[in-house]
Structure 1
Amino acid sequence: MSTLIFVVFVAVFLVTALLLTATRAGASKELKETLDRLDAVSITAKDVALDEAAIIKREELLSDIPWLDRLLRRIDFFGRVRLLLHQGNVGWTAGTLLFASLGCAALGGAATYVRTHVILLSLLMAVLAGAIPWLYVLRKRSSRFAAFEEMLPEALDLMVSALRAGHGLTAAMGIVGREMGDPIASEFRQCFEEQNFGLELRTAMLNLSERVPIQDVRIIVVAVLVQKESGGNLAEILEKVAMVIRERFRLKRQVRVHTAQGRLTGWVLACLPPAFGLGLYFARPDYIRALWTTPLGLKMLYTGIILTVIGVFVIRKIVRVRV
């Protein structure tokens, strides 16, 4: 019976993967030709037609599978997922993330059930395995935001120099998009292009703060919008903002040094129980099997998992100091 269930899970996963691959390979030839034409227009044309092409192209797909794309567009949640994928610069669609999550959940749940024959534990492992693609995207997002923050003071210095040389704010953002590297170049370049396509400065800056929702970007957006309404020396404002950001980085590094021991404790608490259980499983499988074959063992297992998760979150809350 367990072998049959395992085969069913694996078959579902393989069919899903094959369906995704086949549909992506044969996805709408007409759509591909349209996107190719829009790419050509974006590169070669600098006239009014560029505005229309850019607007069409920004309606990004939620999935390469046409029927799934139409289905996901009806759910607001996947619009936020698309933004999350853009922030992580993963290169996936929302449909790809959905399939990856379902595939990991199926494999994790099936493998656990084959070894333990405990439905509740298998469901728990399926949920944890299904979260792996999401955690990967969130990790990429955090890394990209950290790199963005590191480059932000230098970008502001470049904008200040451009403003003092006589360039406007939009042109200064375009210089950052051309001269600096990613991730900051791509975001400022998109903000520059949006203004060239006809969006107001306020809308373009708010879009930037939505794509990069970090505190320093919000400060810059507020400073620019307030200066636009009330006037003032924008170069001097941005120079002071850059100085504040550098001071925050210095203080943040000091905080990380002082909280290093607490963060290490959290990692030990999170990794030690699974590592110890895995070692016992290979060294004394009969000894540890009681955790999922007896009612008392299951209670102890679930209690241990819950307390470990609570402990990790408590330590994370203690050592996470906002600067």
Structure 2
Amino acid sequence: MELSQSDLVRELGLYALPLTGSTLLAYGVWQVVHDLRRKDERHVEQRLKEGVGGLGSRNERAARESILRQQRAEASSIARALGRLRFVPRLQRVIEQANLPWVATSMLVNLVGLGAVAYLAMFLLGYGLAWRLVAAALAALAPLGFVWFKRSWRLNKLLNQLPDVFDMMGQALRAGHSLPSAIQVVSQQLPDPCGTEFARVFCEQNLGIKIDQALLNMAERVGLMDVRMFVTAVLIQRTTGGDLAEVLDNIGAVIRERIKLFGQVKALTAEGRLSGWVLFALPFAVFAMEQVINPEYGRVLLDDPRGQKLLIGAIVAQILGLLMIKKIVNIKV
């Protein structure tokens, strides 16, 4: 027996009300637990303030929040359960590189929730299974795309700041400052991302971690070859001795040449990257124009299950083609 629209809405309401109530109850319980845990975090934050009082106010809070975020990522029971999965620590590292106030395990739970909401919304709107799955996948993957974009933007900015970092540290060392003091100067004078990363190094060594280990933590956290090269040079100099200021000047000169060469390569491959984006966007633009001019022309792709499968296959092929073109023009320097 077919249901009228009002009966269908009533039936959906019978399912939606218990689901909404259960969701609100779970959220309330989570909020209480979060507030209880927040008390411990405020206590740790107060201890961090006492331990890193020498930092400049601009990057002090960012360094403390980064340490607290790492503590939250390692302390929860969900983190310990999901931490056995290989991709969870990698996702947490990407989030830290993007300098976002998120935890990988919580983000995964939120992504599942977003996908479920998108799937339910498409179901209520009357779309087929294929479109529901596409909407759920897009809703779940969109935040990941934002994280990767923010990470790439921040690491590129950090790379461009490194020559200034080495110049500043070299001048501080020539003026008679120690290495921790030179790191403090960088954390006070430079903005994020270099200011925040070196502020965390200074914060960690103030809390009792050896300066060598704090630098290794930064190299592992950032993941850039140039930062690893800097940390390796500092560790070798602290073992064998020598003029660290001169070493930093040489590293800064090498990085400046690499940045210049990377800019030239980027200019030479601009046409290929633009062609990739044009080839990716052209089918979608043509399909949108056809829907405006003659909506019935592409109706079979939207209504017929076989057309929906073909459309999803075409979208997947377009994405794979864009990734292949990007891989070809992404020349390592």
1:143 paired to 2:153: yes
* Superposition map of 1:233-252 within 5 A: 233-252=243-262
* Contact 1:9–1:107, Cα closer than 8 Å, also in 2: no
Give the secondary structure class of the aligned counterpart of 1:221.
Answer: helix
Provide the residue aligned with 2:60 in structure 1: none
Provide the residue aligned with 1:192 in structure 2: 202
Deviates more, 1:169-178 or 1:273-282: 273-282
Which deviations, in whole Å up to 9, do the C-alpha atoms of 1:43-92 show, x marking residues without a partner? 34689xxxxx99x95752249xx9xx312322224344333222212212
1:60 to 71, 83, 89: 71
Which deviations, in whole Å up to 9, do the C-alpha atoms of 1:93-152 show, x marking residues without a partner? 335422442243234434555667432343233223210011111111111111111111
* Contact 1:100–1:133, Cα closer than 8 Å, also in 2: no
Provide the residue aligned with 2:79 in structure 1: 72
Amino acid at match of 1:42: L
Provide the residue aligned with 2:232 in structure 1: 222
1:86 to 92, 96, 107: 96
Q: CA deviation at 1:254?
A: 1.2
1:179 paired to 2:186: no
Provide the residue aligned with 1:208 in structure 2: 218
> Mind listing any 5+ residue stretches in structure 2 that lack a counterpart?
54-63
Amino acid at match of 2:254: V
Q: Using a 3 Å threshold, how does the CA distance of structure 1 residues 314 and 39 change in structure 2: closer, same or farther?
A: closer
Q: Using a 3 Å threshold, how does the CA distance of structure 1 residues 215 and 117 change in structure 2: closer, same or farther?
A: same
* CA distance in structure 2 between the partners assigned to 1:254 and 1:320 by the alignment: 13
Which deviations, in whole Å up to 9, do the C-alpha atoms of 1:153-179 show, x marking residues without a partner? 101101001111122212211111112
Q: CA deviation at 1:270?
A: 2.0
Provide the residue aligned with 1:306 in structure 2: 316
Amino acid at match of 2:72: L
* Contact 1:209–1:218, Cα closer than 8 Å, also in 2: yes
* CA distance in structure 2 between the partners assigned to 1:195 and 1:211 by the alignment: 16
Deviates more, 1:171-180 or 1:222-231: 222-231
1:257 paired to 2:267: yes
Aligned residues: percent identity?
32
* CA distance in structure 2 between the partners assigned to 1:16 and 1:169 by the alignment: 55
Provide the residue aligned with 2:37 in structure 1: 31
Amino acid at match of 1:172: A
**Please, what is the CA RMSD of the aligned residues?**
3.5
Q: CA deviation at 1:237?
A: 0.8
Provide TM-score, normalisation by structure 2: 0.80
* CA distance in structure 2 between the partners assigned to 1:164 and 1:208 by the alignment: 24
Provide the residue aligned with 2:49 in structure 1: 43
Q: CA deviation at 1:24?
A: 5.8
Q: CA deviation at 1:322?
A: 1.1
Q: Using a 3 Å threshold, how does the CA distance of structure 1 residues 29 and 104 change in structure 2: closer, same or farther?
A: closer
Deviates more, 1:239-248 or 1:33-42: 33-42
* CA distance in structure 2 between the partners assigned to 1:268 and 1:196 by the alignment: 51
Give the secondary structure class of the aligned counterpart of 2:72.
Answer: coil
* CA distance in structure 2 between the partners assigned to 1:151 and 1:6 by the alignment: 55
> Mind listing any 5+ residue stretches in structure 1 that lack a counterpart?
48-52
* CA distance in structure 2 between the partners assigned to 1:225 and 1:245 by the alignment: 19
* CA distance in structure 2 between the partners assigned to 1:40 and 1:178 by the alignment: 20
* CA distance in structure 2 between the partners assigned to 1:136 and 1:14 by the alignment: 28
Deviates more, 1:167-176 or 1:221-230: 221-230
Aligned residues: 313
* CA distance in structure 2 between the partners assigned to 1:89 and 1:11 by the alignment: 38
Instruction: Specify which structure has the bigger relative contact order, considering alpha-carbon pairs within 8 angstroms and separated by 6 or more residues.
Output: 2
1:231 paired to 2:238: no
Q: Using a 3 Å threshold, how does the CA distance of structure 1 residues 128 and 58 change in structure 2: closer, same or farther?
A: closer
Deviates more, 1:119-128 or 1:185-194: 119-128
